[in-house]
């Protein structure tokens, strides 16, 4: 499997019209994941990712999807889907699996058991319905506070506060694949303290607080889900160590194409 970093390397190609096919089977603890929507995207830094095609898994969890795109440079395709394998009840996990340049013009076979197979792509954050009810919606105020830190390595009692960084409160959209920024703020450059608030917001899904930082040597966005139990309250995250967020809780800040409402 080609490392993710190499998949996004821009490579020159002779032909402008490029195509890719992905086929395979999705399972969870050996059981097929049927009726799951799968979208084939082309990663695009300059604009929202292009949706090339959509399909569903069959009763046996199998799928096949084809897409093509006119580009002067090598396309960076990936498939994306939501699933409920080994996640909290009422939530869905967004899975993104990148397809290497060597499969452009050919077929990439993706057979994966989502309960145990960590070989593929990015596993993004959970999307959880409010009160675990897909039809529920609550209008509430919400505030999130805390102190952002970047602890030294190896671990010690000392810590390093971060320069003022962007903090955003976002809602995920399962329909468009884009995010809605419902509030934004900056942390204090001296203390790392941040506070972000929103009033009279309609919540159908539990939101995320997002931190855009360079704590790990490159710009990355760490996302932390805010559970519905904090609606109408202030969620104090206390000391937030940005080095401790896992790859599942981080995305490239240019991915997702956040949009302000």
Shared-domain flag, residues 53 and 156:
no
Q: Are residues 104 and 9 in contact, defined by beta-carbon separation less than 8 angstroms?
A: no
Q: How confident is the prediction for the chain on average, in pLDDT?
A: 79
136-141-147 Cα angle (round to 5): 120
Residues 190 and 237 in one domain: yes
154 shares a domain with 84: no
What per-residue confidence (pLDDT) applies to 3? 46
Pairing of strands 107-113, 17-28: parallel
- The larger pLDDT score, comparing residue 219 to residue 127, is at 219
Which of 81, 110, 128 finishes a domain?
A: 128
User: Is the domain of 108 the same as that of 176?
Assistant: no
What confidence tens digit (pLDDT) does each residue in 151-203 have? Answer: 754 444 455 667 788 999 988 655 445 678 899 999 998 889 999 999 988 88
195 — phi, psi (to 5°)? -145, 130
Q: Which helix (H) or strand (E) holds 6?
A: helix 4-7
Q: Residues of the chain with pLDDT > 70: what percent?
A: 73
Question: What are the backbone angles phi and psi of residue 244, rounded to the nearest 5°?
Answer: -90, -5
CA distance 150 to 135: 39
Query: Does 107 share its domain with 121?
Result: yes
Residue where a domain stops, chosen among 101, 128, 155:
128
Last residue of a domain, one of 97, 128, 159: 128
Strand 62-70 to strand 17-28: parallel, antiparallel, or no bridges (unpaired)? Answer: antiparallel
Same domain, 64 and 181: no
Give the structural domain span for 62: 4-128
Give which of 43, 48, 54 is closest to 18, Cα–Cα: 43
Q: Confidence band (pLDDT; 50, 70, 90) for 23?
A: very high
Indicate if 148 and 120 belong to the same structural domain.
no
**Domain with 35 in it: what CATH number?**
2.60.40.3330
Task: Residue 36: name the closest of 117, 97, 104, 98 by CA.
Answer: 97
What is the count of structural domains for the chain? 2
Tens of pLDDT, residues 212-246? 988 888 888 888 888 888 988 999 999 888 888 76
Are both 197 and 100 inside the same structural domain? Answer: no
Domain check: are 110 and 141 in the same one? no
Same domain, 102 and 41: yes
């Amino acid at each position: 499997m080609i490392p993710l970093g190499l998949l996004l390397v821009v490579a020159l190609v002779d032909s402008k019209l490029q195509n890719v096919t992905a086929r395979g089977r999705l399972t969870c603890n050996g059981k097929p994941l049927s009726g799951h929507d799968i979208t084939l995207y082309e990663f695009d830094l300059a604009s929202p990712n292009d949706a090339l095609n959509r399909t569903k898994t069959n009763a046996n969890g199998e799928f096949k999807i084809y897409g093509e795109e006119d580009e002067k440079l090598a396309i960076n395709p990936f498939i994306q889907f939501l699933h409920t394998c080994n996640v909290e009840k009422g939530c869905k996990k967004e899975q993104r699996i990148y397809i290497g340049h060597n499969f452009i013009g050919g077929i990439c076979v993706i057979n994966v058991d989502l309960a145990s197979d960590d070989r593929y792509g990015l596993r993004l954050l959970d999307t959880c319905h409010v009160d675990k009810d897909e039809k529920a919606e609550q209008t509430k105020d919400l505030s999130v506070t805390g102190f952002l830190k970047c602890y030294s390595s190896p671990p010690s009692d000392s810590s390093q506060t971060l320069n003022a960084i962007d903090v955003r409160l976002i809602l995920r959209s399962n329909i468009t694949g884009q995010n809605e920024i419902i509030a934004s703020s900056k942390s204090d450059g001296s203390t790392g303290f941040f506070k972000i608030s929103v009033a009279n917001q309609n919540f159908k899904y539990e939101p995320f607080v997002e931190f855009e930082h360079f704590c790990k040597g490159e710009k990355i966005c760490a996302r932390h889900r805010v559970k519905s139990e904090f609606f109408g309250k202030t969620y104090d995250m206390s000391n937030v160590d940005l080095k401790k967020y896992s790859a599942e809780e981080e995305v490239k800040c240019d991915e997702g194409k956040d949009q302000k409402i």
